[in-house]
Structure formats: C-alpha cells, structure tokens
C-alpha cells in the first residue's frame, strides 16, 4: 500500500518475528483505519533498512532507500508524532555481518565490514556500520520517558489463568556472582553541571595526551558520570567463578547485555571467552591472531576459525575437561552461553531462569542449578535478592500476586551506559580525564591498559519530566511508589538531589520512598506477594530490566506489556510489549510454518495510539475505532485466542483473524458512529460465517518448511504468501 505523505499513525517496519506478524496484521489495521479516514503509514527501522540507507553511493538509484530513522527522529520532536514502535534488532557484531552478507548476496553492492580498517575510506565505512550496531534505534526515538504496565485486562487474565512456574527450593545452589570491587559500580564518580559546557575526554599517559572525544555539549543541570571496569579485576573474578562453579557442581553462566551496551559488554564477553580458554590464548596467541580470532565475537566464531588446526582443537578439548559444565543456549546443537555475545541477554535470560525455579539447561540436555555471573554490581543485586527471596519464600503465585508498574527515565539518551560514543577500551595505562571548557577537571580515573572506561549523562529536563510522570502515576493509582536509587552510589545521589525538592514542592514527599535496588527488590516482592501493587521509578537500565523481570514472573512474558512513551514535545510513541524480536520464533516459522509470536502488545499499543489521536486531535472516529480495538483485545483474552506454541494449532495468523472479527463486531454494534456501524456489519457477518473455512485455510500449510526469501531482508511477496494464506480472509479484508 502506498504511503500518504503525512499519515496519522506510523507503524514501524522491523525485523524477525514482529515483522512476520506485521505482514498479516498491518493490512487488517490499514483497512479498518481507512474506513474511519485514518491513515496508517510505515517507516523502515529494520536492520537491513538501516544498512541500506547508510550507503546510497554504493547502490543503484532504484536500490536506494530513505533514512527513515532520521525522519522519525525529527518527527518524535513534534506534537504530530503518533508512532507505533515494534521491537527491532539491536545488532551484535555477528548479526551485522550476517545482514550485510545477505544483502550483498541479493545484489546490493555494499562494502564489506572492515575488521581492521587502515585507510580513511575504510575507517569511514567502519564508523557507519558501527553506528548501526547495538541499540541504535531506541535512543533516537525515545524523546520522552517511559510508562510501562500491564493493562488491567491482561493482568486479570494472567491471574485467572496462572502460568506454570518452576518450584524454588531452599537448597537450590543457584546464585548470582558479581565483582567485589574494580567494577563500574565501585569506581563511579558523578557531578551535576552548574552551567552549560562542552566537555572533552582525554587519556594522559607517560607519552603524552590523547583526545578520546571532544566537543560533547551538555546543558546546565546535566548529571554527568564516569567510571571504569578494571580488566585485571574482571579476569581474576571470572577465573575464580569458573573454578567455584566446578567445585559447586553447577552450570557456569554469564549474563550481559552485549546488544544495548554495544561497546562495553562485548568486551566483557570477550574477557570471559579468553579466561575460559586461558591456556589456549597464552600458548597460541600468534596463531589465533593470524586466524583472525576476536574473542569478543564469541566461542562459536573462534571454534569455526580454528577447526582445521589439530593442535589448537586438541588444546581446547583438554581444557574443556577441567571446566564446569556450561549453561547452554541450545544443548541439541552444542551452542553454549559463550558462543555468540547476543544469545544470552541479561534482562530476558535471568527472569527465564528464575521463572524456571533457578534452573538452566546443561550440555547433558538436563536442567541444573547455575551460578549466574553478572560482573558489574550496579544491578546484579536485583537478581541476587530475587533469588534469595524465592529461596526463602518459594515461587511467586501469579494467581494472587499484585503488579509492579514502571516509570523509567530514558528521554534524550539518559543513562545509555556503555552504548555511547563515550565508552572506551583503554589502550595504555594512564589517567582518563573529563574536562569542561573552562578547564575544570570533572572526572579523573587512573586506568590500566584494557580497562573499560565509560561516561553517561542524564539531562535536567528529562529528569524533571520523569519525576513529574511518577507523581501523576502515583496520584492516578495510589500505589506504593519507590524510587530505585542508591544514596551510596555517585550517580544516584545526584538524581536524589533532583527528586527530593520536586516531591517536596508538590507536597507529595510522604507518598514516595527512596531505596537502593536490593532493598527495593525485596520491598516490591513483599508488596506483590500480599496482592498489592507498586510503582518502580527507575533509571534507564532498570526500566529495561524490571519490565522484563516482573512481567515474566507475573504474566509469563513481557510481550503483553503496555509501553507508552509520553514524548516531551507532546507527541506519542507507543512501544509494543517490553520484549524483543524473538529470533527463535522465526526459526520455527521457517522450519514448520508456525508463528507463535503473540501480537497482544501490538493490539494494546494500537488502542492507545488511537485513543491518543482522539484526545490530541479531537478525532471522534479514532475514539470509536480505539474503543473497538480495546474490546477486540478483551475478546482475544476472554476467549483464549492467543497463538499456540505448537505446530498444527492456531498461531499468530489465526489470532489476527479473531482480532479482526472482534474488532468488526465491536464496530458493528456500537451506536456512536452509524456510518462505521453500517460499514462493518457485513464485514463482521462475513468473518463469522466463514470461520471454519478461514481457520482451515490458516493452518493448512503448517508442518512443512516456509520460504520467506531471506532472514534480514525477506521477499515481500513470499512473506505475504506465507503470512496471508487464507484467500477467504484476504477477500473479506479487501
């Protein structure tokens, strides 16, 4: 469908499972919206789309695409923004390479990714590709703070239909391991800028001064912090935990966020690979370098590169016998925790392990207790305390538990730890200084070669907006409200200095508590265990972590969360769910043509987006359409129309049929807009009359492989054929 120039609503084009789902759902949404004169356009923020838009000079005229992310970045700063944002890939190194290779094979003459750029031209290409990696989309779009919670209907459904939870035993050997010093948490310094300033970051060594970064400008009131992780302390810690896991007879597991924290965390991951195979790296350093081994790319890449060298593979086998069993990503295929840096992502992996009663899968394809290594101590205590709570009290009961909502600070790249262009692996020993334009040294850290230094910032306007959002949410609910801030931590102390006066001025100081993350975790579990509710008011990282942790325990998944970004300039950004793009779901579709992706997050976001259009633009038909979406979402829950996980049963496509049907029925029976009722009555009737025929057509192709013509850049015609297999449904939708 051709896009109108300024659509009322933008629906993002993304990757993997949510994009497969869009091939079926978006035509339904566009058809229903058009009947109410509401246009729904698309913007491409997929990994492939972002790569193509970065290299127009390498593409033919008909291959070139616009930079939709940049356009959206402008739009979200205007009151006109009304964007439904689906999850997209935050690409790790290996994913970026795979996407480039796929596009090249499809005739796009993209340059190779320069692993070791030498010329200026190569350095420029490398810089363009690196800007696409990791969390490259969300920080651009999130020009507002975050309000995430389970919609009432979703929470009620989860309580009435509690999911299975693994039992927790008091004798479980599962535990969290974090560094006792030398980490980002313990080395942090922070300051609030009294006046606007540009800032430069330099490394002073015995040989002179190198400028790491210059010309960053921060407005007055910005909280700027800096810290580093000691490579030596990290290596010693990893070696000790590997030995302890062996002695304790548990799985070794490492939980990082190598996608979002795209600079720091792949390096930490690489340290784990090197420590795991320490004797091999010592003995064969030159050979490994010659083979192009980069430990940050993971054990999978390493094993592939050394597979023809009998000496090295024998040495690896010899070490393996001295190591503890590793937590597996896929034990059938021998994929370990250390194979690919983006396979185990802490915010999804820890809640899954906790939901399973503290168990992970081992190489023997059985469940075992595990040591969960989360090197940095800033947020590891959240998982440690959760595990201690369940060991002492047993698993959470989703039938009776209350809910934890979240108000998260994230606007204008607040607290984008480790993903910033202000994170560095230090090349040689010296002192890193952060210097203001008047010469004031804001931060100074003595570092050694290999240490990871990072700075992040949070601006005044976003911080104030966040606190006010928390005040209005607390007022709307009356819930126990906790700021998850640690007075003993440098960065948090600066935020507390903002929080307290604003609460006092609003006369609501008695309605809020301030607690460090460990105490707040315990208080939150105590609260929801009693069946009561609480609001977690957190920084950016905990926003991400907690809106997976609590929903996964309360609702089984974070995919059903309502995720609203109230843009600071008046627009609305509606994220769908709080989870990711579910790569495993794509694999299942390709292998057996079953898509278990649940679009409930999309349904909830669509309802909110239409409501926003009604409120902001006084669009009466958007209100009618939005209320009908809410009714349809309720219908999906009440009648259990969500996708099944098993092949041969109703899947994502079937749930879209029901969504369309309940939506049409709600429109046909409402009395606010007679014209819409008249238009949708025959649609509802046709959908109901053809129920059996459509259901049969939708499952007919299941069981056999599906060809969508690519992974990162599927063929639209093939994708449509797979995702819209019911001719009867397509005809009714028109």
Give the span between the Cα atoms of 657 and 643, in whole angstroms.
11
Residue 550 beta carbon to ligand NAP: minimum distance, rounded to whole angstroms: 14
598 binds, options ligand NAP, Mg ion, none, Cβ within 5 to 8 A by partner type: ligand NAP
Q: Is 634 in the site for ligand NAP (CB under 6 A)?
A: no
What does 109-174 look like in DSSP terms, one character per residue? -PPPP-SS--SHHHHHHHHHHHHHSBS-SHHHH--EEEEEE--HHHHHHHHHSPPP-PPP-TT---
By CB under 6 A, residue 48 contacts ligand NAP: no
Handedness of CA 239, 241, 242, 246 (dihedral sign): positive
Contact region with ligand NAP (CB under 6 A), list: 112-120, 290-298, 592-600, 612-620: 592-600
666-673 long-range contacts, CB within 8 A, separation 24+ = 666/627, 666/628, 666/631, 666/632, 666/635, 667/32, 667/624, 667/625, 667/628, 670/624, 670/627, 670/628, 672/620, 672/623, 672/624, 673/36, 673/620, 673/621, 673/624
Torsion of CA 51, 57, 61, 63, to 10 degrees: -20
Least CB distance from residue 490 to ligand NAP, whole Å?
28
- 647 three-class SS: coil
Partner that binds at residue 357, options Mg ion, ligand NAP, none, CB closer than 5 to 8 Å by kind: none
| Residue with smallest beta-carbon separation from ligand NAP | 580
Report the first-to-last Cα separation within the chain, whole angstroms: 12
Q: Of residues 32-71, which lie at the interface with Mg ion (CB under 5 A)?
A: none
- Within positions 120 to 179, which residues make up the interface with ligand NAP, using CB under 6 A? 138
Q: According to CB under 5 A, which residues from 332 to 361 bind Mg ion?
A: 347
Instruction: Enumerate the β-bridge partners of residue 199.
Output: 216, 436
Handedness of CA 156, 162, 165, 169 (dihedral sign): positive
Within 345-374, which residues bind ligand NAP (CB under 6 A)? Answer: 345, 348
* 343 vs 492, beta carbon nearer ligand NAP: 343
40 binds, options ligand NAP, Mg ion, none, Cβ within 5 to 8 A by partner type? none
Shortest Cβ 507–ligand NAP spacing (Å) = 36
Q: Which does 597 bind (CB under 5 to 8 A by kind): ligand NAP, Mg ion, none?
A: ligand NAP
* In the complex, residue closest to Mg ion by CB: 347
Binding-site size, ligand NAP (CB under 6 A): 21
Q: Using the rule CB under 6 A, is 24 a contact of ligand NAP?
A: no
Q: At what angle do helices 620-638 and 152-160 cross, to 10 degrees?
A: 10
Query: Considering CB distances under 5 to 8 angstroms, the limit depending on partner class, which of Mg ion, ligand NAP, none binds residue 153?
Result: none
* CA-wise closest residue to 581 among 29, 244, 138: 138
Q: What's the chain's length in residues?
A: 734
User: Alpha-carbon distance 578 to 594, whole Å?
Assistant: 23
Are the CB atoms for 401 and 551 separated by under 8 Å?
Answer: no
d(CA 432, CA 446): 6
| Helix (H) or strand (E) segment spanning residue 729 | helix 727-733
Q: Which of 559, 624, 625, 732 binds ligand NAP (CB under 6 A)?
A: 559
Residue 88: which of ligand NAP, Mg ion, none does it interact with, CB under 5 to 8 A by kind? ligand NAP
**What does the per-residue mask of binding to ligand NAP show for 249-288, with x meaning CB under 6 A?**
----------x-----------------------------
Q: Which is nearer to Mg ion, 276 or 574 (CB)?
A: 574
**544 near Mg ion, judged by CB under 5 A:** yes
580 binds ligand NAP (CB under 6 A): yes
Judged by beta carbon, residue 142 or residue 653, the one nearer Mg ion is 142
The H or E element spanning position 441 is: strand 441-447
Under the criterion CB under 6 A, does residue 406 sit at the interface with ligand NAP?
Answer: no
Using rule CB under 6 A, residue 582 touches ligand NAP: yes
Q: Which residues bind ligand NAP (CB under 6 A)?
A: 87-90, 138, 259, 345, 348, 557, 559, 577, 579-584, 596-598, 601
Q: Which residues bind Mg ion (CB under 5 A)?
A: 347, 544, 548
């Amino acid at each position: 469908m051709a896009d109108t120039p300024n659509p009322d609503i933008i629906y993002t084009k993304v990757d993997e499972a949510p994009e497969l789902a869009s091939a079926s759902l978006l035509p339904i949404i566009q058809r229903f919206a058009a009947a109410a004169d509401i246009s729904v356009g698309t913007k491409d923020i997929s990994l492939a789309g972002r790569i193509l838009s970065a290299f127009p000079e390498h593409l033919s005229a008909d291959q070139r695409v616009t930079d939709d992310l940049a356009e959206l970045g402008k739009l979200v700063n205007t009151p006109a923004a009304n964007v439904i944002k689906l999850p997209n890939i935050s690409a790790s190194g290996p994913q970026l390479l795979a996407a480039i290779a796929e596009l090249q094979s499809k005739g796009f003459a993209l340059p190779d990714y320069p692993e070791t750029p030498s010329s200026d031209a190569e350095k420029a290409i490398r810089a363009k590709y690196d800007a696409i990696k990791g969390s490259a989309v969300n920080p651009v779009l999130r020009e507002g703070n975050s309000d995430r919670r389970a919609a009432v209907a979703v929470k009620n459904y989860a309580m009435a239909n509690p999911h299975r939870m693994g039992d927790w035993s008091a004798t479980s050997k599962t535990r969290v391991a974090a560094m006792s010093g030398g980490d980002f948490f313990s080395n942090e310094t922070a300051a609030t800028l009294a006046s606007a300033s540009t800032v430069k970051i330099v490394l002073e060594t015995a040989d002179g001064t190198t400028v790491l970064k210059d010309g960053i400008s921060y407005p007055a009131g910005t909280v700027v912090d800096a810290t580093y992780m000691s490579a030596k302390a990290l290596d010693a810690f990893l070696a000790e935990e590997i030995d302890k896991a062996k002695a304790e007879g548990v799985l070794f597991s490492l939980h990082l966020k190598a996608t979002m924290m795209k600079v720091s965390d792949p390096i930490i991951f690489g340290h784990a690979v090197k420590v795991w195979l320490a004797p091999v790296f010592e003995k064969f350093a030159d050979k490994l370098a010659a083979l192009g081994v980069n430990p940050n790319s993971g054990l999978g890449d390493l094993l592939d590169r050394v597979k023809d060298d009998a000496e090295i593979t024998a040495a690896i086998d010899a070490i393996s016998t001295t190591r503890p069993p590793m937590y597996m990503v896929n034990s059938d295929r021998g994929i370990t925790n250390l194979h690919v840096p983006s396979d185990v992502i802490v915010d999804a992996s820890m809640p899954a392990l906790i939901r399973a009663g503290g168990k992970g899968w081992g190489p023997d394809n059985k469940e075992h207790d595990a040591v969960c290594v989360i090197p940095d101590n800033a947020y590891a205590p959240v998982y440690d305390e959760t595990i201690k709570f369940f060991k002492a009290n047993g698993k959470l009961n989703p039938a009776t538990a209350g809910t934890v909502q979240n108000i998260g600070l994230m606007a204008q790249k607040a607290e984008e730890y480790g993903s910033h262009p202000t994170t560095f692996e230090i090349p040689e020993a010296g002192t890193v200084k952060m210097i203001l334009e008047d010469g004031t040294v804001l931060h100074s850290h003595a570092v050694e070669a290999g240490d990871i230094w990072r700075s992040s910032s949070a601006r005044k306007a976003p911080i104030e907006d966040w606190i006010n959002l928390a005040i209005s949410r607390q007022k709307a609910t009356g819930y126990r409200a906790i700021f998850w801030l640690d007075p003993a931590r440098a960065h948090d102390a600066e935020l507390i200095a903002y929080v307290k006066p604003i609460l006092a001025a609003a006369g609501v100081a008695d309605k809020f508590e301030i607690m460090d993350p460990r105490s707040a975790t315990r208080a939150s579990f105590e609260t929801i265990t009693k069946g009561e509710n609480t609001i977690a008011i957190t920084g950016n990282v905990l926003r991400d972590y907690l809106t997976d942790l609590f929903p996964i325990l309360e609702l089984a998944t974070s995919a059903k969360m309502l995720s609203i970004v109230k843009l600071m300039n008046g627009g609305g950004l509606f994220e769908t769910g709080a989870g990711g793009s579910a790569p495993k779901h794509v694999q299942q579709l390709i292998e057996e043509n079953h898509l278990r992706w649940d679009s409930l997050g999309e349904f909830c976001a669509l309802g909110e987006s239409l409501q926003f259009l009604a409120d902001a633009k006084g669009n009466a038909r958007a209100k009618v359409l939005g209320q009908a979406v809410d009714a349809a979402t309720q219908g999906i829950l009440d009648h259990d129309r969500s996708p099944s996980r098993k092949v041969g049963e109703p899947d994502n496509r079937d749930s879209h049929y029901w969504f369309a049907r309940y939506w049409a029925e709600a429109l046909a029976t409402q009395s606010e807009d007679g014209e819409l009722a008249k238009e949708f009555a025959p649609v509802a009737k046709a959908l109901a009359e053809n129920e059996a025929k459509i259901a049969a057509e939708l499952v007919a192709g299941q069981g056999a492989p599906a060809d969508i013509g690519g992974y990162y850049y599927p063929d639209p015609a093939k994708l449509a054929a797979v995702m819209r297999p019911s001719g009867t449904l397509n005809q009714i939708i028109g």
